[in-house]
Amino acid sequence: MSTSTINGIKKLYNSMHPEQTLGQRIAQFIKEKRTALGMNQRQFAVHVFNDIRKQPWICDIETGKKGLTLDTAGRILKALNADVEIIEF
């Protein structure tokens, strides 16, 4: 995907949700899905990474203190049984 396409997606997203950044929206989505599954952050860290020591990292993601790589986002989304759809314009 080209940089101009990514920038176009960001602009479209921002026009739809000007009060939140894309990172904030993703963090909110992760937290909402995790809690809907009945998992606390420790349980989720073990579920996603098989490592309880990742719990502070989950907290940082959900509070927006840390961003996500695409690989990590994919791993978390898989654990949440969620998909991302990329729409070309």
pTM score, whole prediction = 0.70
Mean pLDDT on 58-86? 87
Report pLDDT digits (tens) over 11-52. Answer: 655 555 567 787 888 888 899 999 999 999 999 999 999 999
Is the residue at 10 inside a domain?
no
User: What local confidence, expressed as pLDDT, does residue 7 receive?
Assistant: 59
Cα–chain center distance at 47: 15
Is the residue at 40 inside a domain?
yes
Containing domain of residue 30, as a range? 21-79
23-58 CB burial, b ≥16 within 10 A, e <16: eeebbebbbebbeeeebebeebbeebbeeeebbebb
Is the residue at 26 inside a domain?
yes
Is the residue at 72 inside a domain?
yes
Is the residue at 8 inside a domain?
no
Total domains in the fold of the chain: 1
CATH number of the domain enclosing 34: 1.10.260
Is the residue at 85 inside a domain?
no
